[in-house]
Every structure is written in structure tokens, then in C-alpha cells.
Amino acid sequence: MGISRDSLHKRRATGGRKKHWRKKKKYELGRQSANTKLSTNVAVRKVRVRGGNSKFRALRLDHGNFSWGSEATTRKVRILDVSYNASNNELVRTQTLVKGCIVQVDAAPFKQWYQQHYGVEVGQKKRAAAAA
């Protein structure tokens, strides 16, 4: 049957069924979700879309572009773990990357930027720094 984004298969506002009056159209097609997994074996596929353009479908990733909001800086960092997903615990168990999931990332690029920008090492305890 295929994945369709039309409204022909839905019911009317009154609850009655709609009659099929035409075939499915190419512009109504939908595609399977990417279900991007967290993996070091990176796989990104190119998908031809409407108008001959192309999109990139990430099947497996291990890095992403993340921002440190309060410092207004963005870096490409490694994703270490999927920690929480409000929509489904199964996505956490299977390490699936989706929009809105909480991930743990490698902080090294941000620490390096902070050191270079402010001249202070982030993550050091004050007592340890004072004793040294």
C-alpha cells in the first residue's frame, strides 16, 4: 500500500467514509522514518525528493552540532549516550537519536573554547586550585 500523506483515507467530519475519486498522487507520498541510531559506523544516505532536490537521511551517527546557550557558542561534538526521551523509553534503550531527546556529549571542545576565551579552566574545583 505504501506510506501516504493524503486525507483520502480519512473519514468525513460527519463520520461517514469518503469515496475514492482519484488515484494516489506522487506528491502525497511519505517515507519511512530514519530511526537514526547512535553508532561509530556512520551511515548517511542521499534521498531524491520532489523537484529533483536531495535530502540526507542519517541512519547511524556519532556526532552532532551542539550549542552552549548561555555562552552563545556552538561546536561539533561527539555524542556519548542517549540519556532520556520524553516520548518513549524504547528509544533510550535502542539508542535512537530523535528531535528533543536528551543526549550526553563530549565536553572537550567547549572546555577548550572556554579556556581560550576566558583564560580559566572550567570544571576545576576552587579548593584544588587554591591549594596549588
Fold category of 26-122 in CATH: 3.10.290
Using a pLDDT cut of 70, give the percent of the chain over it: 95
Helix, strand, coil content of the chain in percent (nearest 5): 25, 35, 40
Task: Encode pLDDT of 56-74 as tens digits.
Answer: 999 999 999 999 999 999 9
Burial level of 30, CB count in 10 A (0-12/13-18/19+)? exposed
pTM above 0.85, yes or no: no
Whole-number mean pLDDT of the chain?
A: 94
Cβ-contact 56, 44 below 8 angstroms: yes
Q: Structural domain boundaries of the chain?
A: 26-122
Burial level of 40, CB count in 10 A (0-12/13-18/19+)? exposed
Task: Enumerate helices (H) and strands (E) in the chain, giving the number of each.
Answer: 3, 7
